[in-house]
Chains A and B, each alone.
Chain A
Amino acid sequence: MAAWFESDEFSLTHASEKFEAASKLAKEIEHDLSEMENKVTVLKQSFEEA
């Protein structure tokens, strides 16, 4: 999207709409990335020599 603003395809008619979409997407990315958590499981399996 950022590239669109620099490209020849840029049009003032769609600029505002694109900017709002990009801002929204950035907020969604921030939210999703911040919320993601890992599931850490310690195996019950013993690796000692039988």
Chain B
Amino acid sequence: MENEKAEIRLSVSDFVGLVNQTFDFAMPSIVIVGEVSGYNVRQEKWVRFKLKDERCSVDFFGSTYQVRQPLEDGMIVAVSGRPRLSDKYGFSVSIQSVRPVGEGSIKRGFELLKRKLEAEGLFDIERKRPLPELPGRIGVISSTQAAGYADFIKILNGRWGGMQVEVAHTLVQGVNAPGQIVRALEYFNQSGEPPEVIVLVRGGGDPDDLAAFNDEALVRSIASSRIPTLVGVGHEIDVTLADMVADVRAATPTNAAQLLVPDRRELIERSRTYVRSMIPAYQGHLNDDRREVKDLVDTAEFVISERMRVLTDEVASTIKLLRQYDPSVVLARGYALVRGDIDIGGVIEVERAKDIIQAEVRSVSKK
């Protein structure tokens, strides 16, 4: 009798339902880490693989939407999922998200996705658009608590002003980050007053922290943005697929601000330099004009002095000539000047150099 009470009799369907309820209650979401084996994609929609370790292996099943990057056998991944007992396929873990774990697997996942997207031409140089020269509206996607965001805003405000900066606060690491960033990209692209450029920034971190920026859906969303994109993630040495697909890649968030706007201090200095450069040019022209005036004055002085010399010579000659006609000079040579009435009996005056004689005319005869 007691045995009958302890026994639970269920139909197969009820059993499956009960097991799934128990799983939901006990393990609503778990993360299992293991090595991928038997990786298989069907109809480009459904993904199936096993995760194994030294002793066990477990089946996993999901859609390509959940598995956001290509995998291959041998990669170590962390799968977030829910255990399910299917009435048709037996036990498996229903995949919610997958991310490679460990440097080797992260690198391999990166390479696989990079190769795939490269083949589609997503990184082609012909796709790159220039950033607006002086944007009036900027859309920023970042975590407002992140150091990279603070660096970007600080440098941006220091370099340029007068811009409308709209910030979409999102996660920038972890499994939920790509989805949030994709929605932020969609928000800006669908905005009634869209920004002229979208800037995606995040500071440095280890490869696992930056893995969100190697998410396939995020990379495709950046590629399809109708607004030009500028991505500055991590440090100089970190290159993510988001960087590669962006219209412009910045090495760091600080560099993103530098690429986006000019430095007002440089422009102020340049305008000062322009003004300063006018002074020597101005002085140069003044010196040229001074030289020209001096040359003219010199020429005028020469012409005037030459003319003076000629005139002086002419005056001297005239004086000399006039002297020849001076009666006193003739008298000095022994001649006499005769004045008066030249009639017989008339009185005449004879002027010599040193005396004047009065004489009476006794005879006048023709020569």
Contacts and interface: CB of A to CB of B under 8 A. Distances in A.
A6 B170 contact: no
Nearest to B169: A42
Nearest to A42: B167
Nearest to B166: A41
A37 B274 contact: no
A12 B267 CA distance: 28
B264 to A, nearest CB: 4
Given A33-B268, A49-B176, A43 B157 contact: no
Contact of B169 (A18, A25, A43): A43
B274 A40 contact: no
A40 B153 contact: yes
A5 B165 contact: no
Interface in A5-39: 5-6, 10, 12, 15, 18-19, 22-23, 25-26, 29-30, 33-39
Interface in B179-195: 179-181, 183-184, 187
Interface in B244-300: 264, 267-268, 271-272, 274-275, 277-279, 281-282, 285-286, 289
Contact of B176 (A6, A29, A48): A48
B278 A41 contact: no
Nearest to A28: B271
Contact of B168 (A19, A33, A45): A45
B168 A37 contact: no
A41 B157 CA distance: 13
B268 A19 contact: no
Interface residues of B, number: 37
Contacts of B267: 29, 33
B180 A48 contact: yes
A36 B278 CA distance: 27
B309 to A, nearest CB: 35
A17 to B, nearest CB: 12
Interface residues of A, number: 30
Contacts of B164: 38-39, 41
Contacts of B167: 40-43
B91 interface: no
A38 B155 CA distance: 12
A40 B357 CA distance: 126
B32 interface: no
B281 A6 contact: yes
Contact of B271 (A15, A19, A26): A26
A12 B166 contact: no
A38 B168 contact: no
Interface in B121-177: 144, 153, 156-157, 160-170, 176
A19 B282 CA distance: 9
Contact of B160 (A12, A19, A36): A36
Interface of A: 1-2, 5-6, 10, 12, 15, 18-19, 22-23, 25-26, 29-30, 33-43, 45, 47-49
Interface of B: 144, 153, 156-157, 160-170, 176, 179-181, 183-184, 187, 264, 267-268, 271-272, 274-275, 277-279, 281-282, 285-286, 289
16 contacts: A5-B277, A5-B285, A12-B286, A19-B282, A25-B271, A26-B271, A30-B271, A33-B161, A36-B162, A37-B157, A38-B161, A38-B165, A40-B165, A42-B144, A45-B187, A47-B169
